[in-house]
Chain A
Amino acid sequence: MASKTVLGACPQDCPDTCSMLVNVEDGKVTSVRGNPDHPYTRGRLCVKVNNYQDKIYSPDRVLHPLRRVGPKGSAQFEQITWDEALDEIETKWKAIIAEHGASAILPYSYLGTQGNSQGLHVGDAFFNKMGASVSERTFCDSGSCTAYAITIGDTAGVDPEALALSKYIVLWATNPLSANSHLWPFIMEAKKNGAKIVVVDPYKTTTAKQADWHIPILPGTDGALALGLMNVIINEGLTDTDYVEKYTSGIEELTEHVQQYDPETVADLTGLSSDDVRKLAREFAAAEPAVIRVGVAIERHAGGGQTVRALACLPALTGAWRKPGGGILQLPIWVFPMRWDAMSRADFLPENPRVVNLWKLGEILNGENLEGPPIKSMMVYNANPAVTTAEQEKVIQGLMREDLFTVVSEHFITDTARHADIVLPATTQMEQEEIMFSWGHFYLTFNNKAIDPMGDAIPNTELFRRLAARMGFDDPHFRMTDEELMRNTIDWDSPTLEGVTFEDIKERGYVRLNLPKTEEYAPHAEGNFHTASGKCEFVSSAAAGGNFVIPLFRQGYTEQQMGDAITPIPEYIPPNESTATNPTLGASYPLSMVSPKSHAYLSSSFGNLKHQQEHNGKQSVIMHPDDAKVRSISNGDLVTIKNNRGSYVAEAKVTEDVRPGVVFSPVGHWRHGSEANATVQAILPSTLADLGGAPTFSDTLVEISLVNTAGKSIAAE
């Protein structure tokens, strides 16, 4: 038997980007495990990918091009050849372009597959060349990126491994034990060295249960807490005055501004005690050093952007940046020498393309608030909008349109692919080669191909080469090989890669960027922020330019930004939907809903695999016993969760891990086959947050009622 171990890399949209060992016997992947040599992975993967071979060899894999033969949404397809599929796509697209213009075609993609060449930007050059509608993919961290950019700049922040050196770790809106588990050993090391671990999260997550202190904040009020911390730090003289003087700007205005956020006011807004606000501020300021690890969930409410601005100001106020392990950590992606422009090729775009925000997909497909021609075709790759985009009913209504030509490249017949006219078979990570940045550590990771592609499946790179050839795009970009495309994503002349070659990374599986050692890495010990002034700007000079989405999340395009005004100083913007801020809505829908990531699914990836389903259990809603009791709901009951946007059915989990008035429903379950044929996205709003087009998922009111045995909802008392 011929067996080998191949160095791979996990392709999921997770900060950890694990180096993997892929065991192959007789040309078949038999198992995967974490690479024990990797300083960050340390020999572990996670519950999502431990059985990756089950995904590759699932009997449900899409292995050939398919053409719809039944009604829309019926998932009835016939197998066709690649030539037939490309013929149909070419014919339809050329006709649409001739009649409506290329902007009637919409790409919809994200990070279902992550990686430099196969991931977020793989189709950008193609669609930019076509002149299709430019998609703003502000799904995750876009609001934070805008906030960062105008406050401290595009800095990587703290080295994640340096958390081991921290003395006070605030895990804010993040649950690393489910969604960033390879960071945890560094936190544990800090704890053993005397660090205090604090978790700010409305839900008592597994992470919160391991912390020294859990702060169960009301959803969407994090900005108030951050400003309250500033109030205490400034008024009690806990600032690092030397640091503030040398490396920040706007302290006078900030001092005056935060007076309104006294601990008592903040306590009322956040549902915490004023003593706890003071205590957190004092402890954070006293620790040397303190760090805030912010999760992607932080931005998902009306004031999400300004919340991140406030958090980004805090470490500068206390001088936490002076020591390794002090500061803020959110998105280390900025440390990688990426050639975003060379990947997206915004230079291919025509003048004044149409820009649409993909959170608004329901509206877009139904022609609401859409200027210009209707969307006549959508191509979905690395994404599953039917169960990941808000206002699910509206999205499905759009996907059901007879006159919408939908092409989906996928591994499985997802809820989106069910509605496709053409489904194209995509390779899994084991069937392709890839080089990978990370948004959770400082290593470039390499994924060697372990097996040949299954069936007719092809990598995304090959997909867009084929489509470009059909559409007559003759720019050399569209003839680049996979290796050329991988090399093209990185600036190999960067000092962070001095002495490192593509071949080195391929052979070793990973390389740490040439940066100071973790125990010496304090990038902002002397300011050097990536802002125009080089300072941490409490009063942002860049705010004057108005609201924007960084080009990374909009196919490289920089013009036609949102442009709405940004208050230059961090402010508290209350939630759109809470019983306190919207009592009228709250009268009908009195429960605040938060929809976190599931433990065993990554967004909707793996939601169809038995192993992960058994780990995750059924679609559920987690609620407090008081809220359950008044609705006659018991643990395990089927309940309907409803608001003015839609409804779905889930199993009630009754627990005191949540506070009264706040409920949780993890995402990732598939719509087809679920109770009531709907998921939590049915009740989520497509309203955007204040900065960067971030979503407002954690800013949603609902009501919950028991489903009776006849399957009908009983109205709550």
Chain B
Amino acid sequence: MTHIVTDNCRACRFTQCVSVCPVECFHVGEDMLYIDPELCIDCGGCIPVCPVNAIYDTVAMPEEHAPWIAINKQKSAELPVISAAMDPMPGAEDKRAALGL
């Protein structure tokens, strides 16, 4: 079991999750982050700090997010680790507003 990043992160990439993660299990892609399921310890620290509610515990997520399990696994294997927070993407606040968050 693990935690996953889902579509809400796309074009936002706020990265508060990276600061709270104790194990550096986030990997950074072009427009969003992914979690390495082998490394995630399910501490859940990232969930409440995500401004756009993009992160879920796979044990307690809406069914529609299930495809993201495989995507996180695959992308985290390909992409570099992000070990420190970075600036959100341009337009992140707009997307957040559009999400009503």
- A interface residue numbers (CB < 8 A to B): 31, 33-34, 36, 42-47, 50-51, 177-178, 181-182, 184-185, 188, 206, 210, 599-600, 611, 614-615
Report A-chain residues with C-beta under 8 Å of the C-beta of B49.
36, 43
In the assembled complex, B80 has its CB within 8 A of some CB on chain A: no
**Complex contact A178–B20 (CB within 8 A):** no
* Number of interchain pairs (Cβ within 8 Å): 62
Q: Give 1 or 0 for each of B48-71: 1 = CB within 8 Å of chain A CB.
A: 110000000101100000000000
Q: Give 1 or 0 for each of B66-83: 1 = CB within 8 Å of chain A CB.
A: 000000000000000000
- A31 and B57 alpha carbons, distance in the complex (Å): 14
- A614 and B39 alpha carbons, distance in the complex (Å): 18
Q: Would A44 and B22 be within 8 Å (CB), given that A611-B59, A614-B1, A614-B59 are in contact?
A: yes
**Complex contact B59–A44 (CB within 8 A):** no
Report A-chain residues with C-beta under 8 Å of the C-beta of B39.
206, 210
**Complex contact A34–B22 (CB within 8 A):** no
**Complex contact A181–B60 (CB within 8 A):** no
- A215 and B34 alpha carbons, distance in the complex (Å): 31
Nearest Cβ distance between residue B61 and chain A, in whole angstroms? 11
Partner of B23, one of A34, A45, A210: A210
Nearest Cβ distance between residue A480 and chain B, in whole angstroms? 37
Partner of B43, one of A31, A181, A188, A210: A181
- A329 and B41 alpha carbons, distance in the complex (Å): 23
- A680 and B77 alpha carbons, distance in the complex (Å): 35
In the assembled complex, B42 has its CB within 8 A of some CB on chain A: yes
Nearest Cβ distance between residue B24 and chain A, in whole angstroms? 7
Query: Chain B's interface: helix, strand, loop or mixed, by majority?
Result: loop
**Complex contact B41–A600 (CB within 8 A):** no
Q: Would A600 and B20 be within 8 Å (CB), given that A51-B60, A611-B59 are in contact?
A: no
**Complex contact B1–A615 (CB within 8 A):** yes
**Complex contact B1–A45 (CB within 8 A):** no
Nearest Cβ distance between residue B17 and chain A, in whole angstroms? 11
**Complex contact B20–A47 (CB within 8 A):** no
Report B-chain residues with C-beta under 8 Å of the C-beta of A33.
44-45, 48
Nearest Cβ distance between residue B55 and chain A, in whole angstroms? 12
**Complex contact B41–A206 (CB within 8 A):** yes
Nearest Cβ distance between residue A307 and chain B, in whole angstroms? 28
Report A-chain residues with C-beta under 8 Å of the C-beta of B60.
51, 611
Partner of B42, one of A43, A182, A615: A615
Nearest Cβ distance between residue A117 and chain B, in whole angstroms? 28
- A241 and B91 alpha carbons, distance in the complex (Å): 63
What are 7 pairs between A and B in contact, CB < 8 Å?
A: A44-B43, A45-B44, A45-B45, A51-B60, A188-B23, A614-B59, A615-B42
Query: Apart from A33-B48, A184-B22, A611-B60, what 7 extra A-B contacts exist at CB < 8 Å?
Result: A31-B48, A34-B45, A46-B42, A46-B43, A51-B60, A188-B22, A615-B1
- A210 and B81 alpha carbons, distance in the complex (Å): 14
